[in-house]
Chain A
């Protein structure tokens, strides 16, 4: 990386003038920012670098995309060059120029805007070069021509992709990004709308491929372990295990979703990275332990009479009680829970400028869970003490926590708690759920949000898929010889009951065939080898019996001549699962038939079902 000795602050008017003459660009807005940009450039770049910088800016100016690309270039490039080397300057300006010679000029501002962030993420010129190559590769493969002569139609996904780049790179390595883009192009290269969906991260498979390329512990890889964890450590024998439903944290930028549980199951993040030396798997376990603690020990509280602050405090006090009980039951979880719990610093929050309510509560939480933490705040000390006393005798209760939290809020309330600038640093305990299950609302709809919630719930109940959430399956793509992850969405539901008379009719109609079918199935070879002893003729000598016969012979008894043994198979271990195509096409009548495919398959299935039932094997029918 080349650097130069930065000149003293400010540039002489002469120098500025020379630079301005070097830059061939006549946008009037340029003059407003030029001096500032040049001051920064002069401070960060070598003289050769400055020449390249100005040459580059002239080139960007010439592409005819207005002033914005020029400004982006001028503002960002000095820092980019400082970080990865001045070779980045021509690299980027040439790339922009090249891009302007294609139908993808529209993407140039987006491209330039990503450069600063990309450089920060990737950190080397080589990586930046790879990134630029990657973008050009993507562009070339998705730009379409009409008659095969010229590239005429711009890449549909390019602008969307550029918009997502900062997020993508925060999730993926460059290699992962390349694989993700590759996948999108391969599958949606010829389909502009779906290509856009993919690059906007809207489609399910787009998110799934992103997950595949991502680091951390994926829920899907450990689902069984977590089920076992619940069974082994938190459920009583025979208790039904709640369903675990993953959600993604990656797509809500403003407000990250939090885990929660309701009667449909437990929502957990789809991926957990290791944090503070706690493995992702253990983070899942901590979350499940906390939630299991809630449903074991938490009661319901009527929410209507409490203010939002009181509710926050009550939730936190109850969370602390649950964590204490969890650690009491399994002391080894202390390391994991405390490892994940933030360590708020006592004076970190300034009540003059910030709302400290969350900070104060987080300090309380740390103080009651971790005996090593000792805050000097008298209120926190006193309430921590009261909390410990309540729990010393037993499990305490949600009700006691509610009243303790209410007095805590009354005692520690400050005017500044109302400030919109809430301190969140070191206050988020990420293994805790959002506590929605704690509250009961008598009056629904006092606040606007509640209206929304109601409507959503109603919609959810109305929708036909209100049963189980969909299961996603991979589908093999023979063209690319890879799996398309989560390509198939499967909604499971039980078939509604109907009259069995129809099936009886079908069976009566085909009685003769049914009989033959049963004979055929009966002849299916049973499995499981069993030794048959005491055979006069067999495949092997049975030594025990042979010796006994010899002894009989010697003692004057009649020896048993059945000294051989053989093997036969016995028992059946057959289960039949039948998957039937019930799509639109089966309503057709094949050529030369009077019945539809559906009717034919009904008959066939009825017969098969009957035959298998007679044989006593397990049988299941599924349709799609």
Chain B
């Protein structure tokens, strides 16, 4: 019942991604064996961008699902909808991906409840099938289908960890913020800002990452640095841009704000 427009899931333009190591090769190899993939790492370090990039590189459609606590198993596999004539079946994103041979990317998988995540189990082992109970159908996964989940181990509580039976169905790639030089490169390529500004932004980012565990749950992500670089490029003063993009979003703690504001002043000379 794949009446969906599969073209919409294709990635037509190359998403910018700067490899930090051999993750591209590793992913390609995993895809060749259609192994389910787990990407782990702090927020805003480039996990989703990496998956997009790989989908583009492999020429496969990508279906992304942002998981949340209210998501149900039927939200993933599909459901009957009420309409004027009674009801009609609608495939969920996971089913669509399995049918059309897309990469299905479940972002922040731990946000979904554990009883929801078990529906992916039959798709992630040798069976590669998806039973649709309500509909009485067993969907055989397309040969190109691959399941990818992302997972931020840092701020999740113990209550929200993945079950072992889920974890042990994946191969995993660890991500972290890129090193200073590489991160500056990323900013330059992503935003077109000049190298000096990019290096300074990275320096501010590093100061905040040093405060992780001393009152900050997460440091400043590469994503926020990109925002700041974009603002600066748009003509906002560097120090203002840093304050609104890097400091204000991440903390309400007055002492940390004061420290980071000072760091910004120290890095960007008046």
Contact = CB atoms under 8 A, between A and B. Distances in A.
A557 interface: yes
B255 A224 contact: yes
A490 interface: no
B266 interface: yes
Given A228-B215, A237-B210, A333-B266, A555 B259 contact: no
Given A233-B266, A330-B266, A228 B86 contact: no
Contacts of B215: 228
Nearest to B134: A557
Contacts of A552: 80, 134
A227 interface: yes
B255 A232 contact: no
Nearest to A530: B159
Nearest to B265: A332
A333 B81 CA distance: 63
Interface string B72-95: 101000011110001100000000
Nearest to B71: A544
Given A332-B266, A332-B270, A555-B86, A228 B256 contact: yes
A550 B70 CA distance: 18
Contacts of A233: 207, 210, 263, 266
A13 interface: no
A557 B80 CA distance: 11
Given A225-B259, A227-B214, A548 B74 contact: yes
B259 A228 contact: yes
Given A225-B258, A228-B214, A228-B215, A554 B266 contact: no
B248 interface: no
A231 B209 CA distance: 10
A331 interface: yes
A334 B269 contact: yes
B268 interface: yes
A233 B87 CA distance: 61
Contacts of B210: 231-233, 235-237
Nearest to A547: B82
A551 B207 contact: no
Contact of A285 (B255, B262, B267): B262
A511 B148 CA distance: 53
Interface residues of A, number: 30
A373 B73 CA distance: 72
Contacts of A224: 255
Contacts of B82: 550-551, 554
Q: Which of A228, A334, A570 has the most CB of B within 10 A?
A: A228
A335 interface: yes
Contacts of A148: none
Interface in A546-573: 548, 550-552, 554-555, 557, 570-571
Nearest to A330: B266
Contacts of B72: 544, 548
Contact of B87 (A228, A236, A551, A570): A551
Nearest to A534: B115
B177 to A, nearest CB: 12
Contact of A225 (B208, B209, B255): B255
B188 interface: no
B211 interface: yes
B260 interface: yes
A232 B208 contact: yes
Interface string A349-368: 00000000000000000000
A443 B155 CA distance: 55
Interface string B242-270: 00000000000001101110111111111
B238 to A, nearest CB: 11
Interface of A: 224-225, 227-229, 231-233, 235-237, 281-282, 285, 330-335, 544, 548, 550-552, 554-555, 557, 570-571
Given A228-B214, A555-B86, 16 more contacts: A225-B258, A228-B215, A229-B262, A232-B207, A232-B210, A233-B210, A237-B210, A285-B262, A331-B268, A332-B264, A332-B268, A332-B269, A332-B270, A333-B266, A548-B74, A554-B80
16 contacts: A224-B255, A225-B259, A227-B214, A228-B214, A229-B259, A229-B262, A233-B207, A235-B210, A237-B209, A330-B267, A332-B264, A332-B265, A332-B269, A334-B269, A557-B134, A571-B159
7 smallest beta-carbon distances between A and B, as pairs:
A330-B266, A332-B266, A331-B269, A232-B207, A228-B259, A332-B265, A555-B87
